[in-house]
Amino acid sequence: MTAKIIDGKTIAQEVRAEWKVRADALKARGITPGLAVIIVGEDPASKVYVANKVKACAELGLHSEHVVMSADTPEATLLARIEALNNDPKIHGILVQLPVPKHINSDKVLNAISPDKDVDGFHPMNVGALATGNMRFAPCTPYGAMKLLEKAGVSIEGKHAVVVGRSNIVGKPMALMLLQQNATVTICTSRTVDLAKFTRDADILVVATGKARMITGDMIKPGAAVIDVGINRMDNGKLCGDVDFDSAKEVAGCITPVPGGVGPMTITMLVANTVQAAEWVAG
């Protein structure tokens, strides 16, 4: 069997076009959705992510502000800047690019963002809303992974979904969103004994470990939907996922590639959350 490839680039374009219609409708009412992205320090990878986020906003005609702060910015200065953006009516979404320098408490920073502008979905109120089945802003990467499943026509209700990884930004929210859609969910971690026993039973397998190609074809149930969140850079400079694509695609029913799978969806859902935030403000 050769799996159907879930093309994240094409689906991301399709989803962006859907949200552009909604952004245009707001603009016709005189409201331009606005996103502020704050970066503290000079981390090269973070700079690329931030540039891509600002570019995606421009593509949809959104207002965006790119706030660059030096690596030695005091925590209080960053918190004051966030507070100013919380009170700025042009801004509907605020994102602080993580990681922040070590002298800044990232929990304090995430808690300082107004829950109504928390387009990354990391504020405890939004985490709680997701956990209690009243989702407001969903964290962008798992939200994008859910969109890929939807667009690929994968039915979730009653299926066994296995999520490998339990981070706050991917694994846990992914598991909650699958649960919300009535999957039977198992979460596996580095402490799971006999991981393959669980992955082989998954109708839907989501992998977010940061361990290159750790899930091989023999660990996958024939016909399963496989979502590979991992992004790992190999010695030759190329990217690969947490799933061994070549062996997995011979067993899975459908699978996301890396690059070109979940990656393009993350920024798309950030833009979607920003438009959504503006819609809520507009009533």
Q: How big is the chain by its Cα radius of gyration, in Å?
A: 19
Least separation in angstroms between CB 1 and ligand NDP: 25
Residue 13: CB partners within 8 Å, gap ≥ 6? none
Nearest to 18 by CA among 256, 259, 271: 271
The tokens for 69 are 């702060």
* 164/182 Cα distance (integer angstroms): 18
By CB under 6 A, name the one of 34, 93, 253, 263 that touches ligand NDP.
263
Residue nearest to ligand NDP (CB): 167
Which C-beta is closer to ligand NDP: that of 31 or that of 146? 146
Candidate list 7, 116, 118, 120, residue with the active-site label: 120
By CB under 6 A, name the one of 36, 62, 219, 231 that touches ligand NDP.
231
- For residues 273 and 279, is the Cβ–Cβ distance under 8 A? no
Least separation in angstroms between CB 254 and ligand NDP: 17
- DSSP state letters, 221-271: -TT-EEEE---EE-TTS-EE-SB-HHHHTTT-SEE--SSSSSHHHHHHHHH
Is residue 9 annotated as part of the catalytic site, yes or no?
Answer: no
Is residue 181 annotated as part of the catalytic site, yes or no?
Answer: no
The tokens for 177 are 């969103």
| Binding span for ligand NDP by CB under 6 A among 81-89, 175-183, 258-266, 270-278 | 258-266
Q: Which of residues 117-146 bind ligand NDP (CB under 6 A)?
A: 141
| Strand 225-228 versus strand 204-207 pairing type | parallel
Nearest to 139 by CA among 278, 1, 267: 267
Least separation in angstroms between CB 277 and ligand NDP: 20
Residue 12 found at the interface with ligand NDP (CB under 6 A)? no
- For residues 70 and 130, is the Cβ–Cβ distance under 8 A? no
Least separation in angstroms between CB 258 and ligand NDP: 8
Which C-beta is closer to ligand NDP: that of 123 or that of 213? 213
Is residue 53 annotated as part of the catalytic site, yes or no?
Answer: yes
Q: Which of residues 170-229 bind ligand NDP (CB under 6 A)?
A: 170-171, 188-192, 195, 208-211, 214, 229
By CB under 6 A, name the one of 174, 220, 262, 272 that touches ligand NDP.
262
| Strand 225-228 versus strand 93-96 pairing type | unpaired
Over the window 28 to 47, marking each residue x when it contacts ligand NDP by CB under 6 A and - when it does not, the resulting string is --------------------
Torsion angles phi and psi, residue 228, rounded to 5? -105, 110
| Strand 232-233 versus strand 239-240 pairing type | antiparallel
Least separation in angstroms between CB 281 and ligand NDP: 27
Which C-beta is closer to ligand NDP: that of 26 or that of 243? 243
| Strand 34-40 versus strand 204-207 pairing type | unpaired
- Contact residues for ligand NDP (CB under 6 A)? 141, 164-167, 169-171, 188-192, 195, 208-211, 214, 229-232, 242, 262-263, 266
Which residues are identified as catalytic? 53, 97, 120
